[in-house]
Amino acid sequence: MKQDAPITPVSLSDVTISDPFWKTYMELVRSHVIPYQWEALNDRIEGAAPSYCIHNFSVAAGKKKGEFGGFVFQDSDLYKWLEAASYSLMWHPDKELEAKIDSVVDLMGEAQQEDGYLDTYYIINGLENRFTNLRDNHELYCLGHMLEAAVAYHQATGKDKLLAIGCAYADCVAREFGTEPGKRRGYPGHEVAELALVKLYHVTGNEAYLRLASYFIDERGQTPNYFALEEAAHGREKGWNRTLGYGYYQADKPVREQTEAVGHAVRAVYLYSGMADVARETGDETLIKACETLWDDIVSRKMYITGAIGSSEFGEAFTFSYDLPNDTIYGETCAAIGLVFFARRMFELTRDSKYIDVMERAIYNGVISGMSLDGTSFFYVNPLEVDPVACERDFRKSHVKPVRQKWFGCACCPPNLARLLSSIAGYAYETDQTALYMNLFVGGSIRTEIQDQPVSLEVATRYPWEELVTVTVKEAPSASCTLAIRMPGWCRKSIVSVNGTVIHPSGNPSGSADAEGSSDSPNCHMEKGYLYLTRQWNPGDVVELCFSMPVERIQANPRVREDVGKCAVMRGPLVYCLEEADNGSGLSRIYLDHQPDFQVTYQEDLLGGVCAIRAKGRFLSDSGWESAPLYQMYQTPSYEEKELTFIPYYAWANRGLGEMLVWVHL
């Protein structure tokens, strides 16, 4: 199963995104979010609670007196910021930003202990207790984010210092943990180090990091349970395992025996991502199988239509199959981002487009919904049905905010969004030695190498608003090579042409496709949802993709209790919703017509420019309820005709307080 030709994202330095949809987000992140977060990390945001993040490093480095502030995992805020900033440097070099990073890397170096240990919480509060509470205290979580930042900054600048700091901490951890005699058999309470260590292995070639990642994965959930041993050794109270069991930490059984996605959703998908990474390196079939089983459990039984995951606020966790309440959902932005990570790795493992279909679903819906269109406020929780009164007056919905919040004490989602958005090009394009994979349809110019020869493409598109994607070859290798284009799973009818000659992929995107007509038509076939176009490409060659984007009504599996009798509206990759701003209050009383006569209009002035969808619907009327009883004998309900306006889900809550609804009565 191990791929002969490893596939990797194109370097962010090699892509210039000009696509208005993504360029806007990237620029928001670069020009607003990253600078704002830097100020936040330095406790310079007036009116906001201090982060203490840089403060903690300064104290740990002995440059300042003081106590540790913030959460036990506060260091990770800096690391996520470093990672996001590094990505932005790749496509927008910025000496000033780079200097800031260098200064903070110097500070990290000063805080780092002789043996490589670096976690400001324990450095400040007592190193004698380090590594004694893996369950709760996130030292290995911080390691993971540090390594991700270190790899990104190295890739962005070629500089080694942060990478060396990361390696030293990883080495320190590797000396501490493992199956060898004298080592502790621990593993992260909050996963992420697993996938990060594989990244570090890729950059350094040092197999010790891959072994450490494998060890963390293999050891997890073994008997006796390490967290239980820790609890016993330190007389510690149970944590989340009191109510949710060790499954909260995905540590209730060995990972290869795990068949259901359980527990804290972010932790889960970070773990599964690490499992997929290790599986890809080792070719371990049992681990691949576990990844596939867990993936299937999520996407077949536990994922919202927006790609959100985590049905319950309690434990920010998965619950059980088909339990997808729309109004009490957790659906953390970070969890959707984690699902994107998992999806990309499963694609890299299998080259199956079904994973990218889910990745696209999450990115265009449940991920970017986390940030306001002006980049200044954020959702942790991404509900599919909101009544602001309920958010205020119903305790079980108090975690659901009807408007995005400025900043959070636990600031995981905003920097997580920042690092994803500033590296979006890597999600769009991947390469191996023979093919360039086009996973997302993001406009811009891409320059990479295939068989060590340069390839340049220009991609022009107004996706997700318009159906056309035009790929123009600017530079090509002398030998034949392959353009592998994902045929989106949401698309029932696509037309692909090469230099004006239409190629007919069959209706089933996993079936085969035939070229038609001219002799210079490429060798082409469909495999696992990809159209593989192989030929000797020449500058000026044009591939046109047209993905038919009618408005579609979507229904949920009948086992999803909350969605019976309802439908959702999608167009292309976008899930749509009703908002009070367009449709008035009482959204749950709205029915979509069976012949809705959808009208799509691109509106430049609406929500930064979106296609709005208008449809025929009806509103369950008060007629017959004049005396306002709570219950009465059945009479045929009366409805008022109503023109409905749907907007893209990701753009909701950008026009003040109001109701919102995705699943509409039909």
Q: Which residues are known catalytic residues? A: 316, 412
**DSSP symbol at 518:** -
**DSSP symbol at 366:** I
Residues in contact with a second copy by CB under 8 A are 243, 299-301, 303, 305, 311-315, 319-320, 323, 328, 387, 389-390, 393-396, 492, 552-561, 564-565, 567-568, 586, 588-589, 620-622, 625, 628-635, 637, 665-666
| Choice between 468 and 620, CB closer to a second copy | 620
In angstroms, the CA 309 to CA 268 distance is: 10
The first and second tokens of residue 132, run together, are 């004694």
Shortest Cβ 327–a second copy spacing (Å): 9
How crowded is the C-beta side of 142, counted as CA atoms within 13 Å? 26
In angstroms, the CA 581 to CA 653 distance is: 9
| Choice between 255 and 568, CB closer to a second copy | 568
Helix (H) or strand (E) holding 454: strand 453-461
Residue 459 phi, psi dihedral angles, 5° rounding: -115, 120
In angstroms, the CA 445 to CA 443 distance is: 7
Distances, alpha carbon 122 to alpha carbons 109, 113, 410, 531, in Å: 16, 11, 19, 52
In angstroms, the CA 562 to CA 573 distance is: 22
Spell out the residues 6+ positions from residue 449 whose beta carbon is closer than 8 angstroms to its own: 431, 455
In angstroms, the CA 540 to CA 436 distance is: 17
The first and second tokens of residue 186, run together, are 């621990």
Shortest Cβ 244–a second copy spacing (Å): 8
| Choice between 76 and 311, CB closer to a second copy | 311
Shortest Cβ 112–a second copy spacing (Å): 40
| Choice between 304 and 650, CB closer to a second copy | 304
Strands laid side by side in the 523-527 sheet: 8-9, 429-431, 435-438, 481-486, 530-535, 523-527
Can you tell me which residue has the tokens 């929500």? 607
Shortest Cβ 364–a second copy spacing (Å): 15
| Choice between 139 and 580, CB closer to a second copy | 580
The first and second tokens of residue 124, run together, are 């400040």
| Choice between 426 and 572, CB closer to a second copy | 572
| Choice between 291 and 661, CB closer to a second copy | 661
Following DSSP, what letter does each residue of 57-91 receive, concatenated? HHHHTTSS-----S-TTTHHHHHHHHHHHHHHHHH
Residue 568 pairs with which residues in a beta bridge? 554
Distances, alpha carbon 445 to alpha carbons 19, 29, 138, 288, in Å: 10, 20, 40, 34
| Choice between 310 and 415, CB closer to a second copy | 310
Spell out the residues 6+ positions from residue 656 whose beta carbon is closer than 8 angstroms to its own: 403, 581
What is the chain's Cα-based Rg?
A: 25
